[in-house]
Amino acid sequence: MTTGRSATNLNLGMLQLLLFLFLVTSCATPVGVTKIDPRIVHQELTGNVLSTGVPSGPSEIVLNRHGLHELFAKDPETALADLHRIVVSGRGGTDEIFALAELSFLHAEKTGKRSYYLAASVYAWAFLFPEDASKPPSCFDPRFRLACDLYNRGLTSGFKLEDGSRVELSSGTFELPFGKLEEEFDETTLQWYGRKLVNFAPVAELEVRGLRNRYRQSGIGAPLAASAVLSDSSSDSNALIATKVRVPVTLVLRLGDVWGQLGGGVIIGSMRLYATDDVASVRIGDRSVPLEAEPTASLAVVLADSDIWKMELKAFFGGEYIRKILHQNSRESQLAALRPCQPGLIPVVLVHGTASSPGRWGEMTNELYNDPLIREHFQFWYFFYDTGNPIAYSAMLLREALTKTVQSVDPEGKDPALHEMVIIGHSQGGLLAKMTAIDSGTRFWDNLSSKPLDVLEMKEETRDLLRRALFVKPLPFVKRLIFISTPQRGSYIAGWGFVKWFTDLLVKPATTVLSLTTDILLLGGRDAIAMDIQSHIPSSVDNMSPNHRFIKVLASIPVAPGVAFNSIISVKQSSDIENGDDGVVKYQSAHLADAESELVVHSDHSCQGNPYTIEEVRRILLLQASAER
């Protein structure tokens, strides 16, 4: 029997319970919505194993659909095996095969197990290239691009060495969680223009610094940067190729009927490399599929080589440093390129300035090389030289290197593109460029000697060198010059007394140059040679002093008829440009009244990577391409 107080308490408790249930059911339903920041919703809908480290929505759906969500959290390998059996049994389709790709990759990332990386690639391939080729995944399906990335990343990590530095390529049998992958590697694809590709560095996972833009082509395959080595340097038919070039290549593992092979536990595949400078896409079934490519990252790997940057001061002070480098690498030409000479493409020759190197063209190369219109018409060559030597000597080496290369790659003169050459020179490099397109007559020699060269008593090899360096004729295949920050009338800092003292003390001309004066004086030519040359072989810095005899003569010689030329001038000041300078060269020195065009860039002297400089070069090159057509 319930007492009155007990009954009152019971009724009060029931009332409270009813009130609670009322409040709960009136304020929140079992299913509902809440307005939140749209960015959060987007992140939840688009997040995946590669972007957030957790499975995407579609993979979560598959786990929930088959009651595997909790099992995957506790025992992922068992959950993956169950899901694999669902696919093999025919109870699962493309949704499940995609989930297997993503979840296998996630497990591989957590455990480092190679077999699951390879499984991710196998499953992703099955999703991208289904049994019925007429029903590929839609390009609007977000899983399509993610599946490509899972295939590419799984391939890279699946064949990567333990330290992660390189990808190892060979035929073999590899473990999969559900069986084996029997893969045959096509070793003929290791051959690249007479060289063998080795040391394959994965580049998609590299951070690139020092270049503003990172260009990549989305597609299929693992992007790598390969070294190219010669087994016999004497048989090199592509001497233009830089010694330490890194070739951008893409690794593709082609799989057969994956859907039909999953149940048997053995997946058959073939693997090969593609040089993405030469091949942009491949045929898979009846589809043309673009290759994944990382041109900027591959270029950055080349430029990360510290030897390029060490060259700058050593080649300025050393006089013969470049010759030693060439000898060590069994090279002759001071021209280098990232790929062989390409018939039908106009050469653009980039000539760096004082105490510099081809590495300084990195930003411009990255921008122009990744412009489809530029690549359709042009190829890029780089000239490197000992920048402390007399300018006439370095310019002679440039002219001879270009002449020899053109004769070597086109001995019959059948490629008109080679005869539309563009030379771009920065600073001193612009002076070298000008000396490919002038007719000096005897002016350089007359400024040094009171007697004709032929009447002076000297060794014939000395006379020959002087003639090659000082009696300049325009190269017939050079059609345009682009001057960047070029001291046409000299650099004012080259005239400073301290700079002259410093360079006189430390810059050592090449032995060949030093022997010239010695030979002439010993053989009785003292009265015929200018006194300043007798006591001191001028360096390039001497040559660029505004009052030096060399720069005055060069400034007085016009560019040859038929050769167009453009100026890009760096000036730090934003006002009073005509009286401005870039810290090295004054505007008045760089200005050429008869230039086809002139662009002033507000920059210090090293403006090769300035966006406005690059855009102007792009404009001029496209103008040259249209004129050539």
Q: In this predicted structure, what is the pLDDT of residue 12? A: 65
305-628: CATH topology is Rossmann fold (3.40.50)
Least confident of 13-22, 128-137, 617-626: 13-22
Mean pLDDT over residues 240-267, rounded? 92
Q: In this predicted structure, what is the pLDDT of residue 352? A: 97
Q: In this predicted structure, what is the pLDDT of residue 380? A: 97
Supply the angle between the helices 460-470 and 391-409 in degrees, to the nearest 10: 90
Q: In this predicted structure, what is the pLDDT of residue 471? A: 97
pTM: 0.89
Mean pLDDT over residues 216-224, rounded? 96
Is residue 590 over pLDDT 50? yes
**How far is it, in rounded angstroms, from Cα 323 to Cα 80?**
61
Mean pLDDT over residues 495-521, rounded? 72
DSSP state of 486: -
209 or 318, which is more confident? 209
Q: What percent of the chain has pLDDT over 90?
A: 69
Is residue 456 over pLDDT 60? yes
Is residue 592 over pLDDT 60? yes
Q: Is the CB of residue 307 less than 8 Å from the CB of residue 315?
A: no
**How far is it, in rounded angstroms, from Cα 223 to Cα 208?**
15
Q: In this predicted structure, what is the pLDDT of residue 234? A: 46
pLDDT in tens, 291-317: 999 999 999 999 998 788 888 888 888
Mean pLDDT over residues 18-38, rounded? 67
Q: Which amino acid is at 561?
A: P
Specify the DSSP element, H or E, that contains 259.
helix 258-261
Least confident of 73-82, 158-167, 453-462, 499-508: 499-508
Mean pLDDT over residues 596-621, rounded? 97
Is residue 598 over pLDDT 60? yes
Mean pLDDT of the chain: 89
606-610 long-range contacts, CB within 8 A, separation 24+: 606/360, 606/426, 606/485, 607/484, 607/485, 607/568, 607/570, 607/582, 608/360, 608/361, 608/363, 608/364, 608/426, 608/484, 609/212, 609/360, 609/362, 609/363, 609/364, 610/570
Q: In this predicted structure, what is the pLDDT of residue 497? A: 74
In the chain, where the domains are located: 43-299, 305-628
